[in-house]
Chains A and B, each alone.
Chain A
Amino acid sequence: MRAVFAPEALEAIVEVLRRRDWRVVAPTVRDKAIIYDEITSAAELPVGWKDVQAPGSYKLERRDDEARFGYAVGPQSWKRELLAPSVRLLQIERTNGSFKAAKDAAETKRTAFFGVRPCEVAAIKIQDRVLIGGPYADEDYLARRKSSFVIAVNCGEPAANCFCASMGTGPKAEDGYDLVLTEILDGSHRFLAEAGTDEGAELLAELPQQPAEEADVTAAEKVTDVARERMGITLDRSDVHDLLLANLEHERYDDVAKRCLACTNCTLACPTCFCTTVDDANSLSGEATERIRLWDSCFTLQYSEMHGGGTRRETKSRYRQWLTHKLSTWNDQFDTLGCVGCGRCITWCPVGIDIREEVGAIRATQEAKS
């Protein structure tokens, strides 16, 4: 089901959802960045803002129009909602020489994700595979996922660090959404909307709209075509799995190790990184403990620590773990690649390490040899 509506109709989206008791989380400007937070009105969207990104750099600039989604991606991703940074799994209490463990009910607040980029839709799919598609399903993630509603927004203006086209995850979302919007800014500011599910169609039916004409569809295609062209292909994913596995001792890792601070920013910003740890927090009396699942990062020394030693002591080994997992071994483990080309790791790296450049450097010496 397709339709076209004016920018003002976005307010109706928020209204309808909130009336139906959905929490609406959307991009909004805060602390000089576009982050995701609960909104009560479409006026809180980043109207007229765009982001300018480069390796290690992010800033917002005013646009000369009223685009509602005129930016690429901010520092956060939807994993903050689905794979929450901190979740209490159990409460364990001492009882007469034994203990009792009580499970916490999983979070089920219905939440609409309003403004999910195609790369983010792909990231959610990837995390679905990892966290609920294996022999054990993460119940908290599953519960949140079941009570989520995805409104995707296709991309028209990629940032300099975007490479979704290289990873086959954008700039147009093909599936994985309840509703997808394309913002058209060709003089007649409007949105083309398409439903992906029955729930999405239901929502669309409630919005003030007009039928989608051929011209609207073409205009929307153009938006994403332009975006795709602008990005080009900056990472060749066709052979990256084998390339990285064949070059585990490549000298490039020594090079990266000189720059990488192991600060873990990339793993925090990455929408597919899923590593967590389990921490037991004791009460002061020592009679009760809470088992909490927390975000973790393979870049920390403690990550691989085992009885006094660790298996990845050098920064080089940890960077290699992250890179090869993201673009190579993830595929062996989960049948997809782990990277969606959102560019966050490049933007938010304090020293501007660019994953595309690193892969290119490893490939270049390969090609030089042959």
Chain B
Amino acid sequence: MAQTLTETAGSLEAMTPVPYAVTAKRQDTYDTWTLELEPQNGAPIVPGPGQFNMLYAFGVGEVPISNAGNFDTDERLVHTIRAVGAVTKALCAAEVGTVIGVRGPFGNTWPIEDAKGKDVVIVAGGIGLPPLRPAIYHVLKNRKDYGRFVLLYGARTPSDMVFLDEVKSWQCNYDVDLDLIVDAGDTDWKGKVGLVTKLIPPAEFDADDARGFIVGPEIMMKFVAQELINRDLPAESIYVSLERTMRCGVGLCGHCQVGPTIVCRDGAVYTWAEVENLLAVKEL
């Protein structure tokens, strides 16, 4: 053969789902469930904050789902799944004891360690909270290593908020500036109503020494990033998580490209500076 080929990690191992049993299941909203998973054999995968696994429903298919666990202390995988298609519906129908396939972790991580000593601003929209949960826990568990911690969470209605009790408990138990907002509430809703961007102008953080982390629908991330920039937070200090269709998760199938970047390989975490221009092009 003509050239010397160097071997890197074999893809077949990474393409093989490993059986994990559902050890706990909780319904969060009318279409969202959280599953806790433990491997049938061996030690569990330990994804970093921001990484994702490909979850496999036998006979149906696979989807990429972000790690939603508390990676500092949890012994099991936690994934929050919204039932929108065949695979996610099958995963959400799994009961305690059902075995699903897991492979991963893939993708890069939130640079939450780098943010030590700085103010941290986390903005989550809708089901964007679970992918940020590992990073949130990291800050809470190492609270004194960080400056101010601003956590802003917006959703369509109060019943669309995931782990709301847990979120509220953070405000009670930790030093965190929490602000919640819904697109429309009811008269029992004690919080604000409006767009999540409304929460940014009054948020207290030092733009000269802060990091922003945003997860939500793409359009929400755009508007929130813009609001943070209006507060003088540089685009290089704002991190977002992109979502694209995936098949392999290992950078070989081409599906998750956005312009020059391959999301499963180079992302899903990017700085706003890296992706702002890409996301501005329709249907890129």
Contacts and interface: CB of A to CB of B under 8 A. Distances in A.
A and B touch in the complex (CB under 8 A): yes
A136 B8 contact: yes
Given A145-B5, A177-B2, A333-B262, A276 B85 contact: no
Q: Per DSSP, are chain B's interface residues mostly helix, strand or loop, or mixed?
A: loop
A197 interface: yes
B8 A134 contact: yes
Interface in B97-132: 97-99, 101
A94 interface: yes
B99 A98 contact: yes
The size class of the interface chain B forms with chain A is 35 or more
Given A98-B19, A176-B2, A280-B59, A134 B252 contact: yes
Nearest to A306: B245
Given A276-B253, A277-B247, A197 B2 contact: yes
A332 interface: yes
Interface in B1-58: 1-3, 5-12, 14-19, 21, 40, 58
A97 B250 CA distance: 28
B257 A329 contact: yes
Contacts of B1: 145-150, 178, 197, 199
Interface in A27-51: none
Nearest to A304: B245
Nearest to A312: B283
A298 B258 CA distance: 12
Nearest to B41: A98
Contact of B252 (A136, A196, A314, A325): A136
Interface in A276-293: 276-278, 280, 282, 286, 289, 291
B134 to A, nearest CB: 22
B236 to A, nearest CB: 19
Interface in B232-284: 243-245, 247-248, 250-255, 257, 259-262, 265, 281-284
A136 B104 CA distance: 12
Most chain B Cβ neighbours within 10 Å, of A137, A145, A199, A248: A137
Nearest to A178: B2
Contacts of B97: 97
A107 B30 CA distance: 47
B10 to A, nearest CB: 5
Interface in B76-92: 84-85, 88
26 contacts: A98-B40, A106-B12, A132-B5, A135-B250, A135-B251, A136-B252, A137-B8, A140-B12, A176-B3, A177-B2, A178-B1, A178-B2, A200-B2, A274-B254, A276-B254, A286-B59, A296-B255, A298-B254, A303-B255, A304-B255, A306-B244, A308-B85, A314-B283, A317-B282, A325-B257, A333-B257
Given A98-B19, A245-B260, 14 more contacts: A92-B17, A101-B16, A132-B8, A134-B252, A135-B9, A136-B250, A139-B10, A249-B281, A274-B252, A276-B254, A306-B245, A317-B282, A320-B284, A324-B259
